A and B are shown apart, each in its own frame.
Chain A
Amino acid sequence: MNTLEVVHLSFGYANGVNALSDVSFTVAEGDCVGLIGPNGAGKSTLMMHLNGLLPNKMGAEASIRVFGEPICPRNLDRIRRDVGLLFQNPDDQLFCPTVFEDVTFGPRQFGWGDNDVKAAATRALEQVGLPGYGPRSPHHLSHGEKRRVCIAGLLACAPRVLLLDEPTSDLDPRGRRELKTLLKQLPVTKVIASHDLEMIAELCSRVLILDEGRLVREGPAYELLNDEALMLEHGLERPHCLQRTTSAIE
């Protein structure tokens, strides 16, 4: 059973913009998959589908299965617990007055007891390297800290899959390094949408290339990222870390 299975997914927004066309792929357990493509390719739209946030107007043959089950109103709660989505802008996701309240938002929605909620939050904050940040106000945190608090908020729900939308955007080099280390340590299945191709090369085993709503290629990360012509064709480029290795070989 695949962790995530998407078949013939098509989607258009109400204003007529066609965001996704006939996308199909699978993600196995423990995979770390990179989702890359130019701006407007539909990466964020695709991620929101995997979490059940967008309506089910996908087309007759389309289906999205999470752990073998199609997404429907009945299992939406469980899907949202199992599949955590990290939004691109942490200010949109960090909507509670204190860090503690925000990290416990998910567990409280899912009806856990007070002690369990508190324990999960403390554990999650430690996991992201922010112990003791509970009482702080989000607007005093740095961008990187906000992002880590958002991840803690997802980890507190004990997800089995993490979807990350541009996790390293707007981070300074140290923030980026810390986030990469954190992501490497997390044992869950991950789908990472990003322009940060260096990070994708480092963390992901497989890569999906999305362009104008279509899934144009998928395959091993090293192979696809190294294909300069392919990268340039889809508004990307070969990551520098790979360029250095190949030129060293040559």
Chain B
Amino acid sequence: MHHDYLDRFSRLDSPIHRTPAGVKLACALLLLLTTILVPISRGELFGAIALVLLAITAASRVPPIFLARRLLILEPFVVGVAVLSLLQPGGSAIFFKLVARGTLCLFTVLLLSSTTPFSEILRVFGKLRFPPILITMLALMYRYVFVLVDEAERMSRARASRTFRHDRFRAWRTGAGIIGQLFVRSTTRAERIYAAMCARGWKT
């Protein structure tokens, strides 16, 4: 239940939300392409792209605080890769521009995922003739990711409540044990899901 940041705002009513998922996906790709094609020397164009993104944010009625917080959480991944540029001569000038470009792209994808329910994206994939087995996997994965994450969290909490000594080796061993248990439980759960699918007439 605390994963409610997922899909929290993906079903609001706004001009952005009403746009079909395929169109949004195409526009996101276009924006990303534009951002990437801007030469690193013409940084001022980044400002223009940022304005476009902010305009879309405003139109989407998604609370900016929510987006800002998620952006902050994901930013380290951008910075982490950009840091590599610091290792080469003349890197620091490029570093900031890389971070700027990466952040703009990140924000674009963030906007896309915040305004589009994943099941609609899956429908677009279906129309794009993705392999059907992949689409089934994606749907199941999306549905059960948090069931499994919750299960893993419960097992971690149980582990923590019986950890009296902070021993790194033991932590690795029990962590691996949790992952192993998670897989074993997933196999039995998968069998039950298969039974449930067959019970409602599923034919491959």
Which residues of A does B touch, CB under 8 Å? Answer: 48, 51, 53, 77, 80-81, 84-85, 87, 89, 91-98, 101, 105-106, 109-110, 135, 137-140, 153-154, 157
Contact = CB atoms under 8 A, between A and B. Distances in A.
Contacts, number: 71
B11 A135 contact: yes
**Most chain A CB neighbours (cut-off 10 Å) among B4, B197, B203:** B197
B22 to A, nearest CB: 17
Interface of B is mostly: helix
Contact of A93 (B117, B139, B146, B196): B196
A77 B201 contact: yes
Contact of A81 (B117, B122, B201, B202): B201
A92 B194 CA distance: 9
A53 B198 CA distance: 7
Sort A-B residue pairs by CB-CB distance and give the 8 closest, nearest first. A109-B201, A92-B192, A106-B200, A97-B119, A93-B196, A85-B199, A139-B146, A80-B201
B3 interface: yes
Interface of B: 1, 3-4, 6-7, 11, 117-119, 122, 139-140, 142-144, 146-147, 189, 192-193, 195-203
A157 B143 contact: no
A139 B140 contact: no
B6 A137 contact: yes
Contacts of A96: 139, 143
B200 A105 contact: yes
Given A135-B11, A137-B6, A138-B143, A92 B189 contact: yes
B117 A98 contact: yes
Given A80-B198, A91-B147, A92-B192, 8 more contacts: A80-B200, A87-B192, A92-B195, A95-B140, A105-B202, A137-B6, A139-B1, A140-B7
B202 A109 contact: yes
A140 B5 CA distance: 11
Nearest to A80: B201
Contacts of A91: 147
B37 to A, nearest CB: 34
Contacts of A138: 143
Contacts of B147: 91, 139
B199 A95 contact: no
A53 B195 contact: yes
B21 to A, nearest CB: 13
B201 A97 contact: no
B1 A140 contact: yes
Nearest to A101: B119
Contacts of B4: 140
B131 to A, nearest CB: 18
A87 B198 CA distance: 12
Contacts of A95: 140, 143-144, 193, 196-197
